[in-house]
Structure 1
Amino acid sequence: MDENGDLAIGYNIMNVIFLPDGTWKYKVVGHYNPHAPPGQDFTIDEKAIIWESSFTQIPPQFRCTPSCRPGYRKLTKEGKPICCYDCIPCAEGEISNQTDMDTCTTCPDDQWSNQKRDACIPKVINFLSFEEPLGIALTSISMFLFLVTAAILGIFIYYRDTPIVRANNQHLSYILLISLMLCFLCSLIFIGHPQEINCILRQPTFGITFSITLSSILAKTITVVTAFQAKKPGSKLQKWMGSRVSISIVLSCSLIQTVLCLAWLFIAPPFPYLNMRSGTGMILIECNEGSIVAFYCILGYLGFLTGISFIVAFLARNLPDSFNETKYITFSMLVFCSVWISFIPTYLSTKGKYMVAVEIFAILASSGGILGCIFLPKSYIILLRPERNSKKDLRKM
């Protein structure tokens, strides 16, 4: 015995065998090793035991509880002998693969317990793939909206000499439509197995394309207001009416976002990350943003452009009817703001592939809102009401 009263060495379990001639002998039928792993310290071969021939019943029961089978562990009953215990199922992520184990063994980080809790199995790999229904639905919506935008761009190019296309700077309309096409396509980068290249491209691509979209809307809004003010006698705003000013606004606003994205990539770029602890029985393959501050700076700048565009368009909403595009821009910015304000709490409350799906939905919904509010009314007039596509009728709109 050691100082705690525990056995410091092992011992053999002997079976006394009485022979017919009145003598007896000993036979080793088991062992006890206090240094062995839990569950393996006590072993006995019950089939090797030779019982006295006078026994006519089942060999005596040496415990008051049946053996705990694999998947369970022993829990000693308080105030009862040590051979009396309850069999407790192992918790999730733990197993016992032998009979009468005192403790359950925790599975490795990349494995999980099976349903019987008697073996560890590999965790399920989880990410938003192109093959699952959610990925197929988002991909289909993205491609559909891309094709619709491409068709509208083709309509605007074909009818480029008509008054409704020429109004409010047709080059800005082309830039805005192309940027919306890129916004719909950039959502596809979020789908599929996260790897280093698409983790790096996801957020910067989204940030830059949306900054081009919003700066184009801002330039269109400023063009509308400038055009109205320039018609006043003695106005000095005539020199600000050219397309160069509008394109300069788009380039300068987009350049700021590009610089922010490049700084993000140089300081703390996103990277693929195996999240083994967030999901039960699964490994979440995610893109770690690297710097969450940089991510929210990108969103904040987009919010700034949206706010400026909305304020300018809202203040100019009562201009004469010939300049009523500000009403469509105001409504499109309302849709855009509503989507992204609701996006942030939803994004923070989800994880794994559903977090990615929320961002994709926000990209598609906000881009689709801009497309529908600004360009569908014009496309309707160009295709279905061509008699209204004139300078005279445009002033009445």
Structure 2
Amino acid sequence: MQPEQLKSFLEANTTFSFGNATTPYTANDFWGWAFSNMNVAVLRGVLIEYLVAKSLIAKCDHIVGDTVRALTTNTPQEGDLTRSIEKHYQVQPHGDVFDLQLTWGVTLEIKSTASPQNWRLNKTCRWNIMEDKNLWEQVFPAQFYILAHIDSDISFNENDLDLGSVTFHVRTGRELDALTGTNKSVGFSRFVGDETNRPGYRFDELPDVLKKLQAERLESVQKHILPGWKMAPVPGTENYNMLPLAIEGEDGTDTFWCREVKLDKGVWRCIPIDPIPSPWKAGFVPDWRDWEAAGFSYVPRVMTPVESLFRRLLPELDGVFSASEIAEVSSFVEVGEYGLALDTTIGIFIEEKKRAESNVIALVQSLATAMKLPDAEYSELLCAVSRK
């Protein structure tokens, strides 16, 4: 169903039927029945997401205009950037990786909670847009995270619905990386931090907060970008949906303008059309967040199950293995010598009498299974040395 059809459905007195069996009930009846009680946390969260997203879209030029002009040859006028994304966000983007994207590389997730003691933000699987696949590796995929802390019930004042006391906390994706390390989630207290040094914000302050954070992000990445580098659109592609992608490969990252092409009903793929010159100064090794700060959408490489498991195991060894021991295991993984990498891992645990935690044992067992090795034997070796 297209956005214009959805709008018609919501505004019309549409009735419902099951084939030839009609009902007298309308769309308005349904919405009133399903979504009238705004004290329900889930519904209030959707409403807050809507209000925040609409406010930031309206302020898109204010937040990312300087970034677009600094990193591309585009020279948007007031309102151009808002109009460029409004069509995509006429309805809630179910199934998208992010709640909101203001421009390439500036992505946001909008969360809310009325129960901070129970709230957690989990890492999610990375997604490869070229192959439309979720990957094993889990990250915080957005560059900015907004958390609304709801601290009172709503109230009606004549025709106004007052959401009450709501404090907004903002974190960058890079901050969350540092806060969590190898952990898979972050709770409310760590997300918010010391409220003496990190006070929350009002709803109307969010555009200025994000503008400041984005300016700092741009300033940081520009130190590593070649003087005069800017991303220029491909001539003649104005009517196509062109994506600036940084595509990770085995031997590095390639940058292309890619076009979305419909292959079948509901199936889309991105086809590389034209290369984009690399933005980086010699000697700089960017991570995926650097690529997105430079205005690209980063496409992680699709790994084999064994390689993905090793990518999960290596961070878990940090603090258990020395840096040189991790480097030794990693050197075998990098060249695809997975059997040697696994044997080396087991050998270090046994020879150095190191204790393996349950998550490490589970990953080793999964690796052995994926490599068609005797998984019980490998896990028992680690269990035995851990019991000593």
TMscore range, shorter length: under 0.3
Question: Normalising by the residue count of structure 1, what TM-score does the alignment of the two structures yield?
Answer: 0.19
Question: Normalising by the residue count of structure 2, what TM-score does the alignment of the two structures yield?
Answer: 0.19
Q: Which has the higher helix share?
A: 1
Q: Which has the larger radius of gyration?
A: 1
